[in-house]
A = this chain, B = another copy of it.
């Protein structure tokens, strides 16, 4: 059979990874796909830059529209990232009757609904496994393997940079800022790390996962997002004392009256599988009503792990060439006419347990004040650690672990506590998830 021609937009780290995999593993890929897959046309911003892949056989251009308009190209791989011109290029490729493979989580999370509708109109397919958790086939798992289940919740460590920082803080007792600076030096963190440490990248991915798990439209603007920059090494140590590790999680729950979608740091029991996912690795746990908890673990970023997912998507597309659209796996797992509305609850209706860290004047009766405020709002306490005062310091750290309560109740309690005269400064709150 004649080879499949691929046009690639972007020739950065992942693009070079795709080129290298297709070359190095050409034999096994052809044996699996049934046809050779080869890159013929590539758009890159700079043609003279050194690349970490061979360029032989590629027709290079600086104009990405040449690639999406090339009549010889059957699959367009979009690796530019960001919203525009990625969106315009993908839509044009679809209009031109080309299948699209993309690793662009921001694009899918925000414009996926539009892109999938266009693909349905033009009868081609869009694949985006690489958009979430790099080389881990989490989209395929939820979309095709848990199809008998009602998904109850999913929880993921889906940003390697944030996980690397928290892992170093845990094992080495280092501070957030120090580890972040090192991660930037090592290339694990971007020069502008805000997407990673503030949770925006994780929220893009969570948006996609929640949609395919629950059969609801993509709705990024409903995700509650918190980063990890307020976590101190003391929090990490105190959480450990209580039997927990702090992880930055993307969480999606199906609750009684809707869904909760949130990205924030959380305490996890030390022996929980997710608590032991270290370094830059990613993992997603999905709880189905029939299968119970399942977990998917692997490299969530990096050239070849991400390219591995891109190539798998290409093989899927090739295996399914000529398929009638109604025989394809639906983009968001559920058929488009069968998506449900998906009411995402506001954060104050979310129920979790809490880790609270406050600084209190070292005087008798302070703890009684604190527990009274909590008790008045029906918040019961599971554990308290009160540290010894350091010489010359008149405020001591108090760590509380509460039972489950609605976030709205906790907000009010925290406000009241912060107004107590003998409490110093802001109270740090980290949610506790048991994920059973």
Contacts and interface: CB of A to CB of B under 8 A. Distances in A.
A316 to B, nearest CB: 6
Contacts of A403: none
Contact of A144 (B135, B292, B312, B335): B312
Nearest to A324: B322
A273 B146 CA distance: 23
Contacts of A304: 289-292
A309 interface: yes
A58 interface: no
B328 A319 contact: yes
A53 interface: no
Interface string A17-40: 100011011001111111000000
Nearest to A302: B292
A299 B291 contact: yes
Interface string A320-333: 11111011111001
A298 B295 contact: yes
A399 to B, nearest CB: 27
A137 B147 contact: no
Interface in A289-322: 289-299, 302, 304-305, 307-312, 314-316, 319-322
Contacts of A28: 149-150, 215, 334
A333 B25 CA distance: 15
A136 B294 contact: yes
Contact of A29 (B147, B291, B328, B330): B147
A168 interface: no
Given A292-B299, A308-B288, A308-B290, A32 B319 contact: no
A276 interface: yes
Contacts of A334: 28, 31-32
Contacts of A196: none
A110 interface: no
A308 B321 contact: no
A338 interface: yes
Contacts of A293: 298-299
Contacts of A148: 21-22, 25, 29, 307-308, 310-312, 314-315
Nearest to A215: B31
Given A289-B25, A322-B327, A140 B144 contact: yes
Contacts of A30: 338
Contact of A291 (B146, B308, B333): B308
A333 B298 CA distance: 21
A145 interface: yes
Nearest to A18: B148
Interface in A244-287: 271, 273, 276-277, 283
A132 B308 CA distance: 23
A308 B149 contact: yes
A149 B312 CA distance: 9
A53 to B, nearest CB: 13
A338 B31 contact: yes
A129 interface: yes
A273 to B, nearest CB: 6
A320 B323 CA distance: 9
A100 to B, nearest CB: 17
B135 A140 contact: no
Contacts of A33: 147
Interface string A366-383: 000000000000000000
Given A137-B144, A137-B145, A290-B311, 13 more contacts: A24-B150, A32-B215, A137-B294, A141-B141, A144-B312, A146-B308, A147-B316, A148-B311, A148-B314, A290-B308, A292-B298, A294-B298, A296-B297
7 contacts: A32-B215, A140-B141, A144-B315, A148-B310, A273-B276, A290-B308, A291-B308
